[in-house]
């Protein structure tokens, strides 16, 4: 992926925003368990950072996805994972399907304010009994007059306590599980919604996460994104940008931690020499840097393939799954190794490595667990057994 002057300017603008507007407040937001989403997103909207690859007709910049990847990489300089995750929901998880398949009226009403940062959004797919197994969701939306009436619950919803609306996956018929789902825009101030149950997480502490309960919630049928029954497919497409965004936000954070660990081990003395002078330590740091750079190279290759249009959606899904799988595993490897080099300091709650150790553990779980990524990759390789064979059938 060739980086232009425009890419570099976007990176610098975003990184400066992170350093000036986010990092000075991260400790406060981590302690509070919430970030001021409306305030921060409005500022980002004013800088044009929330619609980089969205249509100009709705306030976006209309650039290709490589610019979004550069933005996400720069956002990864934030010293916590929760805020970049909250921003990513706004830009790459809750709005791609709306931008691609939504009606003009729907985009004017919901996409344009999201790009401006005037509205905070959530993506509501997971449920108490359906995480990575998206086809198993139980929340229903039945037609009644001009409305959908929605009943069910959504679990682990990022930005939920602050969001103005959610892009929600629901069952709109009793058909086959891959053909009976639809994506609907659900205003979260609607009667019948309860989102007071905030969840206490191991990591991503600055990101507010909640359960959303829906009891006979009425939503206009015009809030349907695209065609009814196509929601599962739309969500699978939406997942690809989420996975690329998540990979990109992980790169700089890991590189920064490696750099800080080099500085720490250089000045920390043990047994008459710096810890860094131990061959195992500097060789291991070299290995870790190599691993991160390999993920970055895979990400850039995947992005280039994605924007070229030369690969099929299935091939892009495989590459995006490889990116997500690898960034999750490398994040765990890096943070675990670095914590060892920091010793007792690394085990302290407020240490940056400790925070990253907690935050990055989610990468291998959220947005499709590692095992789902491996299944997608194996399927594209033609080595995934059919269910009939796997269950012992002939």
Q: What amino acid positions are annotated as catalytic residues?
A: 242
Beta-sheet pairing, 121-124 with 165-171: parallel
Q: Say how far apart CA 296 and CA 1 lie, in whole Å.
A: 11
Query: Taking the mean position of all CA atoms in its chain, how far away is CA 140?
Result: 25
Which pair of structure tokens corresponds to residue 192? 């019948």
Which pair of structure tokens corresponds to residue 182? 């639809």
Burial 107-133 (b: 16+ CB within 10 A, else e): bebbbbbbbbbebbbbbbbbbeebbbe
Which pair of structure tokens corresponds to residue 6? 């425009």
Q: Which residues contact 237 (CB under 8 A, 6 or more apart)?
A: 96, 97, 100, 313
Residue with tokens 């929600």: 168
Q: Which residues contact 45 (CB under 8 A, 6 or more apart)?
A: 51, 115, 116, 117, 118
């Amino acid at each position: 992926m060739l980086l232009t002057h425009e890419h570099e300017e976007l990176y610098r603008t975003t990184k400066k925003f992170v350093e000036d507007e986010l990092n000075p407040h991260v400790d406060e937001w981590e302690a509070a368990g919430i970030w001021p989403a409306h305030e921060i997103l409005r500022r980002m909207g004013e800088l044009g950072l929330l619609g980089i690859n969205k249509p100009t007709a709705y306030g976006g910049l209309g650039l290709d996805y490589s610019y979004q990847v550069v933005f996400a990489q720069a956002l990864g300089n934030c010293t916590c994972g929760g805020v970049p995750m909250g921003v990513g929901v706004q830009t790459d998880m809750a709005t791609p399907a709306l931008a691609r398949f939504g009606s003009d009226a729907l985009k004017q009403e919901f996409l344009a304010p999201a790009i401006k940062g005037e509205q905070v959004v959530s993506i509501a797919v997971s449920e108490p009994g359906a995480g990575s197994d998206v086809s198993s969701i139980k929340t229903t939306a039945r037609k009644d007059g001009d409305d959908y009436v929605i009943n069910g619950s959504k679990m682990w919803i990022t930005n939920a306590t602050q969001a103005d609306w959610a892009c929600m996956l629901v069952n709109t018929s009793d058909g086959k599980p891959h053909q009976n789902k639809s994506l609907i825009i659900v205003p979260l101030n609607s009667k019948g919604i309860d989102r007071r149950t905030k969840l206490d997480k191991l990591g991503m502490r600055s990101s507010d996460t909640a359960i959303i309960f829906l009891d006979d919630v009425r939503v206009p049928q015009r809030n349907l994104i695209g065609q009814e029954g196509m929601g599962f497919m739309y969500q699978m497409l939406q997942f690809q940008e989420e996975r690329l965004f998540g990979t990109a936000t992980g790169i700089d954070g890991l590189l920064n931690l490696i750099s800080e660990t080099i500085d720490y081990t250089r000045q920390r003395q043990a047994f008459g020499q710096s810890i860094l002078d131990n061959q195992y330590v500097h060789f291991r740091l070299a290995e870790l840097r190599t691993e991160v750079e390999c993920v970055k190279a895979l990400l850039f290759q995947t992005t280039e393939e994605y924007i070229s249009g030369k690969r099929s959606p299935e091939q892009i899904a495989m590459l995006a799954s490889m990116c997500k799988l690898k960034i999750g595993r490398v994040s765990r490897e890096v943070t675990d190794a670095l914590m060892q080099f920091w010793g007792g300091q690394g085990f302290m709650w407020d240490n940056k490595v400790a925070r990253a150790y907690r935050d990055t553990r989610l990468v291998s779980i959220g947005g499709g667990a590692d095992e789902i990524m491996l299944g997608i990759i194996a399927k594209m390789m033609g080595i995934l057994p059919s269910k009939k064979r796997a269950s012992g059938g002939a």
